[in-house]
């Protein structure tokens, strides 16, 4: 359970790691959609959630690394607020939940910062212009200086803490996996000719919202799975197509689920689809079988790529030595992305900090090779990491044409064999794994993934009348 002690302990540990200076944490505000008062759903900043747990817009905090003192900057509600937003807990009640005893009005933040301006002021990278401008004003710096001035020391300290999930976090994640499962079960059951991508995406959103939170990232729901981040929903499903759904739900405490399933429209995979599907499933299972503390995720990625390349060689799509092909990056024509990323308060956990500081370290450096360059997590796994396991095989016509025309990796790829796959689309299968002491655990009840189980789920057609 998350209690005031949870946050007190985290802040104490962070102070110890950072050692000196004042840490400034600016929570998120309501973000405008098409005008100031028409906002997107409020999402608190993940760092703020991790250290204070308060889902309140417009608040800020300071944390003195030397004295350990935490101060929250938030205002009492006015009568107008109560009329428009209803009664809310007092700021002291809110602060108490975060284990903070010192609360100041928001207007005091600038004088507190001014009084500490000669000390080192640590802040994490910003991703909202309004936050950048606020910090710039508080510190008397330009927005450019803020954009490049985040504290690497603070980032590294936070990464070292947030990457190891605590029991309360694992419980929250595990519990919310049921919502992720419900989203995907609904999508599968709707994979029928005549349905639209939009209505399936709509049902997926509903399943997330009714379980307490919005989707954890924009849902991918497409019969063009070969487009990796497809955010439009223009198509109507046709029998014989593959429906790829990559979707997750945010829990009440803002932890993310992230799964992908690929279903046969109409309920029956073709033989060609089965062959490719099984390779992806083998790769997915191989990752889950291999993961354990000490292994680098880069090696897991390459191992999964070898499974994929090996399968494609058996089908006559690739040729030659598959270890060598993967080393050279030839498989990336079919799997141009990474095998996975960390998962937690963010679906790409901590990505606001800096992808390299999160997923790599002095030992494992990020590659620039096409495909491997997209791997977000390369470093050694540790007990308590939560990672995604998401291999895929895609046939991307524009990329195939380019490689063929330029003769890229022609020693490893039978370009002629690819004509039969030109309109295949793409398959991805994604689960969420908790790294345990001696291996890993697939979080939550596994969403149907075996060929016959997926076909069965499509064929139950539970929602045929809605």
Residues that bind a second copy (CB under 8 A): 31-43, 45-46, 79, 82-87, 127-133, 143, 196, 198-199, 201-203, 205-212, 217-218, 224, 227-232, 336, 345-348, 351-352, 396, 398-399, 402, 463, 466
Q: CB of residue 64 vs a second copy: minimum separation in angstroms?
A: 26
Using left for φ > 0, alpha for ψ between -120 and 50, and beta otherwise, residue 424 falls in alpha
With beta carbons less than 8 A apart as the criterion, state whether 17 and 66 touch.
no
Contacts of residue 133, Cβ cutoff 8 Å, sequence gap at least 6: 143
Pick 71 or 352: Cβ nearer a second copy: 352
User: How far is residue 254's CA from residue 55's CA, in Å, rounded to a whole number?
Assistant: 9
Pick 206 or 238: Cβ nearer a second copy: 206
* C-alpha distances in Å from residue 99, one per residue of 4, 8, 39: 4, 6, 29
Pairing of strands 259-264, 242-247: antiparallel
Six-digit token string for 397: 């016509």
Pick 336 or 340: Cβ nearer a second copy: 336
With beta carbons less than 8 A apart as the criterion, state whether 360 and 366 touch.
yes
Q: CB of residue 246 vs a second copy: minimum separation in angstroms?
A: 13
Pick 430 or 455: Cβ nearer a second copy: 430
Q: CB of residue 436 vs a second copy: minimum separation in angstroms?
A: 27
Pick 1 or 79: Cβ nearer a second copy: 79
Backbone angles phi, psi at 122, to 5 degrees: -95, 135
* C-alpha distances in Å from residue 459, one per residue of 173, 189, 243, 265, 316: 30, 7, 14, 10, 32
Neighbour-count burial of 207, counting CB atoms closer than 10 A to its CB (0-12 exposed, 13-18 middle, 19+ buried): buried
Question: With b meaning 16 or more CB within 10 Å and e meaning fewer, what string describes 242-279?
Answer: bbbbbbbbbbebbbbbbbbbbbbbbbebeeebeebbeb
Neighbour-count burial of 85, counting CB atoms closer than 10 A to its CB (0-12 exposed, 13-18 middle, 19+ buried): exposed
Pick 286 or 343: Cβ nearer a second copy: 343
Pick 201 or 435: Cβ nearer a second copy: 201
Q: CB of residue 284 vs a second copy: minimum separation in angstroms?
A: 21
Place of tokens 């602060």: 95
Pick 220 or 440: Cβ nearer a second copy: 220
Q: CB of residue 121 vs a second copy: minimum separation in angstroms?
A: 20
Q: CB of residue 83 vs a second copy: minimum separation in angstroms?
A: 6
* C-alpha distances in Å from residue 453, one per residue of 163, 277, 281, 300: 33, 13, 13, 26
User: How far is residue 60's CA from residue 110's CA, in Å, rounded to a whole number?
Assistant: 11
Q: CB of residue 193 vs a second copy: minimum separation in angstroms?
A: 17
Place of tokens 């309140």: 56
Q: CB of residue 396 vs a second copy: minimum separation in angstroms?
A: 6
Pick 223 or 303: Cβ nearer a second copy: 223
Pick 1 or 85: Cβ nearer a second copy: 85
Q: CB of residue 192 vs a second copy: minimum separation in angstroms?
A: 15
* C-alpha distances in Å from residue 215, one per residue of 28, 182, 226, 335, 369: 18, 12, 22, 25, 32
User: How far is residue 328's CA from residue 372's CA, in Å, rounded to a whole number?
Assistant: 10
Q: CB of residue 322 vs a second copy: minimum separation in angstroms?
A: 22
Q: CB of residue 216 vs a second copy: minimum separation in angstroms?
A: 8
Pick 118 or 368: Cβ nearer a second copy: 368
């Amino acid at each position: 359970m998350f209690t005031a002690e949870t946050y007190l302990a985290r802040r104490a540990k962070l102070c110890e790691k950072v050692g000196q200076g004042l840490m400034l944490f600016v929570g998120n505000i309501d973000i405008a959609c098409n005008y100031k008062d028409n906002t997107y759903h409020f999402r608190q900043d993940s760092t703020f959630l991790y250290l204070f747990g308060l889902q309140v817009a417009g608040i800020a905090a300071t944390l003195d690394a030397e004295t350990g003192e935490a101060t929250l900057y938030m205002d009492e509600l006015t009568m107008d607020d109560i009329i428009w937003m209803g009664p809310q807990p007092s700021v002291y009640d809110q602060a108490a939940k975060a284990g903070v005893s010192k609360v100041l009005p928001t207007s005091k933040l600038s004088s507190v910062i001014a009084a500490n301006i000669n000390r080192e002021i640590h802040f994490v990278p910003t991703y909202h212009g309004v936050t950048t401008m606020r910090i710039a004003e508080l510190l008397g710096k330009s927005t450019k200086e803020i954009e490049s001035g985040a504290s690497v020391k603070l980032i590294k300290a936070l990464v070292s803490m947030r990457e190891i999930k605590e029991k309360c976090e694992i419980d929250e994640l595990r519990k919310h996996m049921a919502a992720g499962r419900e989203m995907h079960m609904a999508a599968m059951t709707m994979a029928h000719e005549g349905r639209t991508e939009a209505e399936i995406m709509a049902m997926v959103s509903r399943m997330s919202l009714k379980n307490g939170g919005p989707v954890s990232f924009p849902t991918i729901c497409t019969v063009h799975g070969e487009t990796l981040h497809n955010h439009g929903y223009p198509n109507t499903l046709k029998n014989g197509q593959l429906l790829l759904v990559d979707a997750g739900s945010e829990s009440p405490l803002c932890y993310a689920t992230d799964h992908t399933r690929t279903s046969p429209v109409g309920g029956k995979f073709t033989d060609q689809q089965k062959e490719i599907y099984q390779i992806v499933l083998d790769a997915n299972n191989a990752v889950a079988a291999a993961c354990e503390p000490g292994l680098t995720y880069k090696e897991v990625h390459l191992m999964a790529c070898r499974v994929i390349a090996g399968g494609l060689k058996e089908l006559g799509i690739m040729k030659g030595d598959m270890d060598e092909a993967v080393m050279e990056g030839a498989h990336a024509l079919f799997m141009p992305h990474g095998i996975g990323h960390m998962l937690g308060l963010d679906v790409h956990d901590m990505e606001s900090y800096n992808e390299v500081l999160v997923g790599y370290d002095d030992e494992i450096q990020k590659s620039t090779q096409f495909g491997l360059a997209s791997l977000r997590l390369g470093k050694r796994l540790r007990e308590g990491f939560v990672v995604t396991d998401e291999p895929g095989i895609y046939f991307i016509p524009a990329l195939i044409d380019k490689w063929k025309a330029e003769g890229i990796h022609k020693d490893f790829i039978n370009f002629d064999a690819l004509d039969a796959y030109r309109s295949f689309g793409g398959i991805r299968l994604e689960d969420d794994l908790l790294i345990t002491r001696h291996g890993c655990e697939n979080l939550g009840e596994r969403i149907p993934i075996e060929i016959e189980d997926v076909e069965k789920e499509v064929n139950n057609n539970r929602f045929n009348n809605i």
